[in-house]
Amino acid sequence: MTRPRPSERFPVADESLSSAPRTTGPLRLRRELTAEPGPLTAALLLALAATAATLALPLFLRDVITDFSEHRPLAGHITLMCASAAAGALTQACSGFLLARIGERMAYRLRITLMEHALRLPLPVVRTQGTGELAARITSDALLLRQVVDVATQLPLATVTIAATLGVMMWIDWVLTLVTLVSLTGLTLMVVLVLRRMRANVTGQQDAVGHISQRFTANLEALTTIKANRAEPLATRALAADAERLRSVSLEGARLGTLIPAVLTLGNQLAMIAVILTGGARLAAGDITAGAFAAFLLYLLQAVPSVNTVATGLGRLQSGLAARDRCNGLLLLPPENDPADDDRAAPTPLPDAPAIAFDSVSYTHAGAGRPTLRGISFTTARTGLTAVVGPSGAGKTTTLSLIDRFIRPSSGTITVLGHDMRHWPLNALRARIAYVDQTFTLLEATARENLQLGRTTPATDAELTDALDAVGLTDDIARLPQGLDTHLGRGTDLSGGQRQRMALARALLSDADIVLLDEPTSQLDGLNEQRFRAVIEDLATTRAVLVVAHRLTTVQHAEHVIMLDQGTVTDTGDHPALLARCTPYQELIASQAITGH
Ligand SMILES: Nc1ncnc2c1ncn2[C@@H]1O[C@H](COP(=O)(O)OP(=O)(O)OP(=O)(O)O)[C@@H](O)[C@H]1O
């Protein structure tokens, strides 16, 4: 089975980006910065040219002044000066644009990699991480990383400038150069100390950003409950505490940020004092001429901006490294599919095997004190309706989650269409199963796209119409502003019952062998419930339908009922048989947890 290419999973606006190298495994900053060596070299050369043009200006100015004093024509040198200024501006702009382009492309690749990886994480891991925390990686962390790109040209240029200046200084006077180097080493040590603290601080800031966006997202998702319970002040207090944490850690960052220029100024001044004192003594001793000493001081002053550039560049690099570590915290979480999935062929279903077979399966939710499922065993036929019943918290949803491999058993074996679940590549397994969960969430996409999720080939209009008719949604969809092409979510939404029927229509349109339905009638009225029963009975003639049921009407029509209680299978059989012999089942019916609507 081949894995879809990135451009198939995420649409690529700029075609050239689909061939841009993408990160696999942990993110490495150097590899990312040098992912496009051609444009990066061009940006570096253009920046060099801009620097050269700027450096040439004083020389032309000197010539113009000489022309003035010697009454020679000025046109030639003025033209050269203007051309040099224009070339400097142009090359600087081009270099800046190239760098911005490299940075944006790097952020694009990074965001795609992070989003793709997050979507492939196991559901329990995503829940533990938190949606807001994960979202912060593709917003603020990616932004920090994007800003590191400028450093890729600034640092080498400034380093070359410093090295060249030091070379000339060494040529003028090696003793003074040594004094400068010792002073600069002291300065470097101080800056390194501040930078180390800055990196830890940036990590703290980004964690605080993730924390606050997590809580805010969770509150927005629960807004109806918050409003209904007048819990806005409570929610605001918790958010304010997070905002306070972010403020305090950011202030500490700002304090460190202001330390760097202060340390630089102090270091530069100390270097200058040391050089003046030593130079003065050498001048008095006749070891250096006044002209050479003046030239040395000028070069020292010229090196200062480059030293500052290196220090601020290293500061940005620390922020980038902190963001890289946070991104790697996500990228190093193992995805839910096995690494070997890509190379594994999907097994062929065995004709006589049951659709699903559980053999002594146990499962404990992460963080739960005791097992949710304890050694459950059952089988379901290749076609027909199986109802899973049991009191609330018995483990019904957990059982369905195991079948679609959202979670993996702690022990025991699950067989799907005759093959151990571990032998199915994840995509191939899920292609065999249609799952309608309790939330009936719609994607922010058109009604047509929502209906066809999970299909390998697009459905024809006739197939869509048949599915909508079967679940009684034809009129509801026709009333939407653009019918099937109406974008759902945000402004235009469907009711709970309509969404439930959309989910059922999606199951109808799928070519899955197994259909899992988790309490599919909870939001349906009487008429739609009858429709629903007809649909699942129809589905069950050709597929295995496993339904978590709370209504007697559904259970009565099931060929097979699995009674779960406190994580164990209490009994299996058809409705009359269980009613006759299974006390927990009788109690369930009597307590009207299964109602006779
Ligand atoms: N993500 C989770 N983390 C920890 N425990 C969980 C998690 N999800 C479910 N549980 C626990 O597992 C047990 C079984 O939950 P499950 O959702 O499977 O029950 P159910 O039979 O479907 O219940 P209901 O009919 O109320 O939907 C419950 O006790 C529940 O508290």
Whether 516 contacts 438, CB under 8 Å? no
Indicate if 228 and 298 belong to the same structural domain: yes
* Domain stops at, among 299, 331, 363: 331
Average pLDDT of the segment spanning 172-179 = 90
pLDDT digits (tens, 9 = 90+) for 460-483: 888 999 999 888 889 888 888 888
In a domain, 361, yes or no: no
In a domain, 372, yes or no: no
Give the C-alpha separation, 395 to 374, whole Å.
10
Residue type, 394: A
Q: Which of 13-17, 96-100, 275-279, 514-518 has the lowest mean pLDDT?
A: 13-17
Average pLDDT of the segment spanning 549-565 = 83
- CA 571 / ligand 1 centre spacing (Å): 20
In a domain, 78, yes or no: yes
> Cβ(392) to ligand 1 under 6 A?
yes
In a domain, 229, yes or no: yes
First to last CA, the chain: 46
Whether 558 contacts 575, CB under 8 Å? yes
In a domain, 167, yes or no: yes
Indicate if 325 and 236 belong to the same structural domain: yes
Q: Which CATH number covers residue 477? A: 3.40.50.300
> Cβ(374) to ligand 1 under 6 A?
no
For position 250, what pLDDT does the model report?
Answer: 93
Indicate if 17 and 139 belong to the same structural domain: yes
> Cβ(396) to ligand 1 under 6 A?
yes
| Overall domain count for the chain | 2
In a domain, 567, yes or no: yes
Q: Is the dihedral of CA 234, 239, 241, 244 positive or negative?
A: negative
Average pLDDT of the segment spanning 419-429 = 92
Indicate if 386 and 280 belong to the same structural domain: no
Pocket test for ligand 1, best of 127, 364, 372 (most atoms within 8 A of CB): 372
Indicate if 285 and 218 belong to the same structural domain: yes
Q: Which CATH number covers residue 218? A: 1.20.1560.10
Indicate if 327 and 386 belong to the same structural domain: no
Indicate if 173 and 61 belong to the same structural domain: yes
Confidence of residue 152 (pLDDT cuts 50, 70, 90): confident
Whether 329 contacts 376, CB under 8 Å? no
597 pLDDT exceeds 50?
A: no
**Cα–Cα–Cα angle for 485, 491, 494, rounded to 5 degrees:** 65
Give the C-alpha separation, 542 to 486, whole Å.
32
How would you classify residue 418: left for phi > 0, otherwise alpha for psi between -120 and 50, otherwise beta?
A: left
Give the C-alpha separation, 142 to 383, whole Å.
49
Whether 392 contacts 548, CB under 8 Å? no
In a domain, 219, yes or no: yes
Domain span at 316:
6-331
Give the C-alpha separation, 219 to 344, whole Å.
42
Indicate if 312 and 390 belong to the same structural domain: no
Pairing outcome for strands 384-389 and 411-416: unpaired
Indicate if 292 and 399 belong to the same structural domain: no
Estimate to the nearest angstrom the gap between the alpha carbon of 396 and the chain centroid. Answer: 31
In a domain, 122, yes or no: yes
Indicate if 152 and 33 belong to the same structural domain: yes
Instruction: Indicate which residue's Cα is closest to atom 3 of ligand 1.
Output: 365
- CA 222 / ligand 1 centre spacing (Å): 19
pLDDT digits (tens, 9 = 90+) for 223-238: 888 988 888 999 999 9
* Domain stops at, among 316, 331, 346: 331
> Cβ(390) to ligand 1 under 6 A?
yes
* Domain stops at, among 331, 359, 393: 331
Indicate if 209 and 308 belong to the same structural domain: yes
Average pLDDT of the segment spanning 141-159 = 82
- Closest CA relative to residue 376, chosen from 561, 570, 577: 570
Question: Half-sphere exposure of 275 toward its Cβ, with a 13 Å CA cutoff?
Answer: 28
Indicate if 325 and 391 belong to the same structural domain: no
* Residue 80 CB partners (closer than 8 Å, separation 6+): 60
Pocket test for ligand 1, best of 398, 400, 435, 519 (most atoms within 8 A of CB): 398
